[in-house]
Amino acid sequence: MSSSSHACNHGLEWAPSRALEFLKKFVEGFFGSIKTARMAKVFHGGFSYELVPNTAIRDFYNMNKVTSLESGDCYVCVFDAPQFQGQYRILGPGEKAEVDGCGSMVVSTQAIPVNVIRNNTHPPDGFWELSGPMYLFHFYPGYRYV
């Protein structure tokens, strides 16, 4: 066996193991990054999207009305009026509800302090506060191209 053919065989022995190692890391990373928690979901008739925990939507101007909600593993506080005002309803983890009037909402991983939100007209510190269309622009990939 010549020295050039021996060097060539040596390189081929390492190629499959590197490819398999890369594939193994990819598969572990892909399946390890999937969240097991169910996120809250908002329905506007036939259109729906998931809600990121610890966010607040202050209004749904220029959008179809909210028809129903699924809380997933979160707490969802739904207010009748924009800016977290009016009557409210709290959905606990695993609940689904039909909604007649939804002006704003807060989604949280923990119980929601409604009095603090209503008095300050904004969610507690650490929450993202957005309007409905701005929420979709940031968190729903298909909305950017509509």
Mean pLDDT of the chain: 80
Q: Identify whether residues 12 and 69 lie together within a single domain.
A: no
Is pLDDT at 92 greater than 90 in this prediction?
yes
Residue 16 domain boundaries: 1-34
Going through the chain in order, the beta strands assigned E by DSSP cover: 40-44, 47-51, 55-57, 68-70, 75-81, 85-91, 96-98, 104-108, 128-130
Tell me whether residue 71 is exposed, middle or buried, using C-beta atoms within 10 angstroms of its C-beta: 0 to 12, 13 to 18, 19 or more. Answer: buried
Q: Which residue has the tokens 């969802």?
A: 76
Is pLDDT at 105 greater than 70 in this prediction?
yes
Is pLDDT at 12 greater than 90 in this prediction?
no
Is 53 within 8 Å of 109 (Cβ atoms)? Answer: yes
Q: Identify whether residues 17 and 63 lie together within a single domain.
A: no
110-133: average pLDDT: 88
Q: Identify whether residues 13 and 85 lie together within a single domain.
A: no
Q: Identify whether residues 26 and 60 lie together within a single domain.
A: no
Q: For 24-72, what is each residue's pLDDT tens digit?
A: 665 555 554 444 368 999 999 888 899 989 999 999 998 889 999 999 9
Count of structural domains within the chain: 2
Q: Identify whether residues 77 and 100 lie together within a single domain.
A: yes
6-29: average pLDDT: 58
102-121: average pLDDT: 90
Q: Identify whether residues 30 and 49 lie together within a single domain.
A: no
- Residue 55: strand, helix, or coil: strand
